[in-house]
């Protein structure tokens, strides 16, 4: 279905014997599939028009957030086409169904498939290919099967239709509430716009921020640092086309200011998730990560900033600054509930708010926002529907979603990191007037919103390029917008890299006759694009170095153990072991107890997982299986409630 997966087993009398329900993760559901198609500017009908040359890619399927990021990055890097992603998502959904049937121990016989997702022919094909011993039946009534069954039951019971008053009961809103967002209006400051005019003959910098959901570009005066032209548009899974759309709009703004006069763009730089492919498209070496770009852009407008909250369409970042230098940062590695796409998709669904720009005004009209708490995108949709059924107003629900993404951001991204007193909120979500108010209300702190908060990435990376030029790292070259618009990227046939046994697929992109390679698990081709040469013998394996410090240098020597107990304690190498092994190892060593660490992850261990855990938890199951196979006396599985962050203990 749209939100969940359920399996019923029935006997020969068509009576339900058992039922198996999936968890509320949105991964592999119809709702997620529909949302991802919309991100690529596709509809459900387009699934029937996927070209024959499209292929199935291996996606991070354990969680909708990782899968969404994987899809976005592959599109932004030019490693996949929209048809590849649609086909791959269909395969992921099929794998979810097959795994679920196996957990329900259904591996033969007849299985009836129902729900709207059965209208995806590729998913049905992949299911049948993976379970050839099962006869899968898709009835004509599959999309509305439950409603059809309810109608049959009503017909057999002969029950008359109740009166209208009896059909609808008055409900009580059971959710707790916040005070109005307007109560925090005195704590939010908006810096005025400093946009300038394009002047003929002057020198300019082109800054580009290729994000997962939107692509931004700005034209910055080389001397005054004023943004003189800019545009903010949807990426739709095609960052090159999105950049061209931005440049067309910027070109129009230039003509409005100077007509057919000439300007000189001497530096171009890129940041964001598609910075690599856009850097290749512009043929510029100035490609920088967004943490540095946002820090540079923010510091330009106000001295003393110590905290940056940046919320984009699909990612959210926290940056701690000291003297304009990032000293700590965090990103949403595990949840998308604190991002702009979550807010927009939630509002567009059941609340029928067609434009993201409308969300702020509707939320500010709320008298008492609902407390939805911290939920993932699957849970929040259920909460929204419950609130609607209970009779809550659209305004209170919308404001509740706004406070929910702020709560998720503060708890899942920032966590227990330090939040200073000079806080800047930026990113496209900061344009929503309700979001800064929610931050101010929940934190009880002042919030500063810079001019054009959605452009801080492209503005910052433009200033960063100028800084690198002044340091002698970059050189100027001419960039012509007409020439860029006339440029196309040609995708040549991919080839397998033979540098190691992974045989990673590498895609070849051609720009202006120059070939660039994308793909692979390592940085081999990224370094080739940047013309970086490394002496392999001098490159340190920092993972191995860390493991050496953790498991050997800071742990006791097993040969020096004085045994006081004739037992062996097995310890799975997972979770907190990678942080606290010196504590655990010395604890048992001091007691004279021999310990045994797991060495591998047997597949049968991970296969014994009976719920949809995260990937680290699946690894933990495999590590426990390895310990169990080695016949230890005890298995040590430590649990602790929380752990202080370094800020509380470090000098």
Summarised one tens digit per residue, pLDDT across range 362-392 is 999 999 999 987 666 556 777 888 899 898 9
Lowest mean pLDDT among 201-210, 217-226, 230-239: 230-239
Which of 88, 72, 158 lies closest to 126, judged by CA?
88
Separation CA 458–CA 524 (nearest Å) = 27
Q: Collapse the DSSP code of 311 into the 3-class scheme (helix H, G, I; strand E, B; otherwise coil) and give the result.
A: strand
Phi, psi of 170 (to 5 degrees): -75, 135
pLDDT for the residue numbered 576 = 87
The listed range with the strongest mean pLDDT (95-99, 211-215, 432-436) is 432-436
For 76, 352, 480, 552, the CA distances from 210, given in Å and listed in that order, are 8, 28, 19, 43
Q: What is the mean pLDDT of residues 421-433?
A: 92
Contact 64, 35 (CB under 8 A): no
The CA distance from 144 to 132, in Å, is: 26
Q: Does position 422 have pLDDT exceeding 90, yes or no? A: yes
Q: What residue has token string 């703004």?
A: 253
Confidence bin at 649 (pLDDT 50/70/90)? very low
Highest mean pLDDT among 36-50, 503-517, 568-582: 568-582
Q: What distance, in Å, lies between the first and last C-alpha atoms of the chain? A: 53
Q: 41 in helix, strand or coil?
A: coil
H or E segment and range at residue 227: strand 227-234
Indicate the range of 66-80, 99-113, 310-324 predicted with least confidence: 66-80
Calculate mean pLDDT across residues 207-216: 90
Sequential DSSP letters for 355-384:
-GGGHHHHHHT-SS-B---S--HHHHHHHH
Q: Are 4 and 29 in contact (CB under 8 A)?
A: yes
CA separation for the pair 179, 210 (Å, rounded): 37
Q: Indicate the average pLDDT of the chain.
A: 86
Helix, strand, or coil (residue 542): helix
The reported pLDDT for the residue numbered 648 is 47
Pairwise CA distance, residues 569 & 594, whole Å:
6
Pick from 76, 59, 333, 337: which is nearest to 213 by CA? Answer: 76
Task: Answer yes or no: is pLDDT of 646 > 60.
Answer: no
Handedness of CA 196, 197, 200, 206 (dihedral sign): positive
Q: Which residue has the higher pLDDT, 63 or 415?
A: 415
What distance in Å separates the CA atoms of residue 370 and residue 373, rounded to the nearest whole number? 9
Instruction: Give the count of alpha carbons within 13 A of 618, CB side only.
Output: 12
In whole angstroms, what is the distance from residue 597 CA to residue 579 CA? 14
Work out the number of other CB atoms within 10 angstroms of the CB of residue 531.
Answer: 7
Asked if pLDDT for residue 279 goes beyond 60, the answer is yes
Task: Provide the 8-state DSSP code for 530.
Answer: T
Confidence of residue 69 (pLDDT cuts 50, 70, 90): low
Q: How many whole angstroms separate alpha carbon 226 and alpha carbon 455? A: 12
Given a cut of 80, whether residue 536 has pLDDT beyond it is: no
Lowest mean pLDDT among 408-417, 445-454, 521-530: 521-530
Structure tokens at 554: 């800071």
Across the range 287-307, mean pLDDT stands at 92
Judge whether 317 and 431 are in contact, CB under 8 Å.
no
As a whole number, mean pLDDT of residues 515-537 equals 74
User: Going by DSSP bridges, is the β-strand pair 227-234/264-271 parallel, antiparallel, or unpaired?
Assistant: unpaired
Q: What is the pLDDT of residue 378?
A: 55
**Which are the contacts of 586, defined by CB distance < 8 A and separation ≥ 6?**
555, 556
Q: Which residue has the higher pLDDT, 394 or 355?
A: 394
| Per-residue burial over 21-56, b = 16 or more CB atoms within 10 Å of its CB, e = otherwise | ebebbbbbbbbbbbbbbebbebeeeebeebeeebee
State how far the Cα of 283 lies from the Cα of 276, in Å rounded to an integer. Answer: 10
Q: Residue 436 has what pLDDT?
A: 96
Candidate from 5-9, 183-187, 265-269, 590-594 with smallest mean pLDDT: 5-9
User: Using 50, 70 and 90 to split pLDDT, how confident is the model at 62?
Assistant: low
Tokens 């939100």 locate to: 3
**Ramachandran category for residue 352: left, alpha or beta (phi over 0 → left; psi -120 to 50 → alpha):** left
pLDDT at residue 60, rounded to an integer: 62
- Which residue, among 247, 249, 240, 238, has the nearest Cα to 281 in the 3D structure? 240
| pLDDT at residue 269 is higher than 60 | yes
Confidence band, pLDDT 50/70/90 cuts, at residue 333: low
pLDDT digits (tens, 9 = 90+) for 384-412: 888 998 989 999 999 999 998 898 889 88
Q: What is the pLDDT of residues 254-267, one digit of tens each?
A: 999 999 899 999 99
Q: What is the mean pLDDT of residues 181-202?
A: 92
- Which pLDDT score, from 0 to 100, does residue 31 have? 78
Contact yes or no for 517/528 (Cβ under 8 A):
yes
What string of H, E and C letters represents the secondary structure of 88-128?
A: HHHHHHHHHHHHHHHHCCCCCEEEECCCHHHHCHHHHHHHH
Q: Give the Cα separation of 311 and 317 in Å (integer).
A: 6
In the prediction, which pLDDT does 524 show?
82
Distance between CA atoms of 65 and 32, rounded to whole angstroms?
10
Q: Is the pLDDT at 170 greater than 80, yes or no? A: no
Query: Residue range 9-26: average pLDDT?
Result: 80
Of 416, 193, 224, 420, nearest to 304 by C-alpha is 420
Residue 636's pLDDT band, with cuts at 50, 70 and 90, is very high
pTM for the full predicted model? 0.67
Token pair for 51: 């070209």
Alpha carbons 576 and 616: distance in angstroms, whole number: 11
pLDDT at 110: 93
pLDDT of residue 141: 94
Residue (of 321, 316, 275) closest to 298 by Cα position: 321
């Amino acid at each position: 279905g749209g939100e969940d997966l359920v399996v019923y087993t029935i006997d020969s009398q068509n009576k339900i014997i058992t039922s198996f329900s999936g968890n509320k993760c949105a991964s592999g559901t119809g709702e997620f599939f529909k949302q991802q198609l919309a991100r690529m500017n596709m509809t459900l009908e387009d699934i029937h028009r996927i070209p024959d040359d499209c292929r199935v890619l291996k996606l991070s399927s354990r969680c909708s957030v990782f899968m969404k990021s994987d899809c976005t990055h592959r599109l932004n890097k030019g490693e996949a086409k929209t048809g590849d992603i649609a086909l791959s998502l269909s395969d992921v959904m099929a794998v979810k169904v097959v795994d679920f049937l196996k957990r329900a121990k259904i591996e033969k016989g007849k299985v009836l498939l129902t729900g709207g997702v059965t209208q995806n022919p590729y998913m049905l094909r992949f299911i049948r290919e993976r379970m050839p011993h099962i006869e899968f039946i898709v009835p004509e009534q599959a999309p509305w099967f439950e409603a059809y069954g309810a109608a049959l039951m009503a017909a057999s019971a002969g029950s008359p239709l109740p009166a209208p008053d009896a059909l609808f009961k008055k409900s009580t809103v059971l959710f707790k509430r916040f005070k109005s967002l307007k109560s925090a209006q005195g704590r939010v400051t908006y810096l005025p716009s400093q946009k300038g005019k394009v002047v003929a003959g002057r020198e300019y910098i082109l800054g580009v921020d290729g994000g997962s959901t939107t692509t931004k570009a700005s034209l910055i005066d080389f001397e005054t640092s004023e943004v003189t032209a800019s545009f903010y548009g949807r990426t739709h899974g095609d960052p090159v086309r999105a950049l061209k759309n931005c440049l067309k709009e910027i070109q129009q703004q230039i003509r409005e200011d100077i007509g057919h006069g000439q300007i000189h763009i001497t530096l171009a730089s890129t940041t964001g998730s598609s910075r690599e492919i856009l850097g290749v498209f512009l043929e510029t070496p100035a490609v920088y990560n967004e943490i540095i770009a946002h820090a540079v852009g923010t510091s330009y407008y106000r001295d003393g900033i110590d905290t940056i909250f940046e919320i984009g369409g699909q990612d959210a970042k926290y940056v701690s600054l000291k003297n304009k230098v990032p000293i700590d940062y965090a990103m949403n590695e595990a949840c998308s509930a604190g991002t702009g796409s979550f807010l927009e998709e939630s509002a567009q669904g059941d609340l029928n708010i067609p434009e993201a720009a409308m969300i702020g005004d509707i939320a500010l009209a709320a008298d008492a926002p609902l407390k939805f708490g911290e939920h993932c995108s699957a849970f929040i949709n259920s909460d929204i529907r419950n609130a609607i059924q209970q009779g809550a107003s659209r305004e209170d629900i919308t404001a509740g979603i706004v406070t929910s993404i702020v709560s998720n951001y503060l708890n899942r991204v920032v966590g227990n990191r330090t939040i200073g007193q000079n806080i800047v909120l930026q990113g496209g979500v900061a344009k929503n007037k309700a979001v800064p108010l929610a931050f101010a209300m929940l934190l009880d702190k002042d919030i500063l919103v810079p001019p054009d908060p959605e452009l801080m990435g492209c503005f910052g990376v433009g200033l960063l390029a100028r800084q690198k030029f002044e340091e002698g790292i970059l050189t100027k070259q001419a960039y012509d917008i007409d020439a860029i618009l006339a440029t196309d990227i040609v995708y040549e046939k991919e080839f397998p890299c033979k540098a190691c046994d992974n045989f990673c697929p590498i895609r070849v992109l051609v720009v202006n006759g120059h070939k660039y390679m994308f793909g692979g698990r390592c940085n081999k081709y990224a370094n080739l694009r940047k013309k970086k040469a490394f002496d392999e013998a001098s490159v340190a394996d920092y993972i191995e170095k860390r493991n050496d410090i953790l498991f050997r240098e800071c742990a006791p020597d097993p040969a020096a153990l004085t045994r006081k107990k004739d037992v062996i304690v097995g310890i799975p190498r997972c979770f907190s072991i990678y942080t606290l092994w010196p504590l655990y190892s010395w604890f048992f060593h001091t007691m004279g107890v021999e310990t045994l660490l797991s060495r591998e992850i047997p597949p049968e261990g991970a296969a014994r997982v009976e719920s949809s855990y995260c990937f680290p938890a699946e690894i933990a199951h495999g590590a426990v299986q390895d310990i169990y196979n080695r016949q230890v006396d005890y298995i040590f599985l430590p649990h602790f409630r929380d752990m202080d962050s370094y800020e509380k203990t470090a000098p």
